[in-house]
């Protein structure tokens, strides 16, 4: 009687694939740049358009109340699809935390201020979110790393020497 030598490798291969999938879904901070505009598509569903045409499709957004979450935290994002100007998926994430810029930590009244350019903030559910804002995802599945880095450049690592102009 002949036995298949492939059968013992099948469980190991399935385990390997699950580990690779988990490793590629890494935590990541994505920056929403100044000049971004917002379009409300429905309850808890928004589209944030960046100046270069890329967009964040935010679904199941829940506003945080006063004193909830970390300082500057504006809300929890149930799901988010990040797409380039052509509509091609760059990355997807879930359970992200939207945090406004520095002014949100200092405080604001929730109203648009006069003498402040409209590209410095977006209003989501009548709450001002100062730009540049960040979304911290516990896991982010990246499909196009270069496009994501272009959209959301990460700060230089500590100790990097900047060249003089």
The per-type count for the chain, helices as H runs and strands as E runs, is 3, 9
The pLDDT, as a whole number, for residue 63 is: 83
pLDDT over 80 at 155, yes or no: no
What is the overall mean pLDDT for the chain? Answer: 74
For residues 54 and 45, the answer to whether their CB atoms sit within 8 Å is no
pLDDT band at 7; cut points 50, 70, 90: low
**pTM, 2 dp:** 0.67
Phi, psi of 10 (to 5 degrees): -60, -50
Tell me which DSSP letter residue 130 carries. Answer: E
Kindly state the helix (H) or strand (E) to which residue 151 belongs, with its residue range. helix 145-151
The pLDDT, as a whole number, for residue 66 is: 59
Q: Which two tokens stand for residue 117?
A: 């350019």
């Amino acid at each position: 009687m002949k036995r298949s030598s492939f059968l013992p490798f099948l469980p190991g291969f399935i385990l390997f694939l699950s580990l690779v999938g988990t490793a590629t879904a890494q935590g990541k901070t994505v920056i929403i740049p100044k000049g971004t505009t917002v379009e409300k598509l429905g309850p808890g569903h928004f589209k944030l358009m960046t100046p270069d045409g890329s967009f964040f499709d935010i679904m199941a957004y829940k506003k945080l109340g006063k004193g909830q979450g970390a300082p500057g935290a504006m809300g929890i994002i149930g799901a988010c699809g990040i797409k380039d100007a052509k509509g091609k998926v760059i990355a997807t994430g879930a359970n992200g935390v939207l945090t406004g810029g520095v002014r949100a930590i200092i405080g604001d009244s929730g109203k648009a201020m006069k003498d402040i350019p409209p590209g410095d903030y977006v209003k989501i559910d009548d709450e001002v979110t100062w730009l540049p804002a960040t979304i911290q995802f516990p896991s982010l599945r990246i499909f196009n790393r270069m496009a994501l880095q272009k959209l959301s450049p990460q700060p230089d690592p500590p100790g990097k020497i900047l060249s003089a102009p």
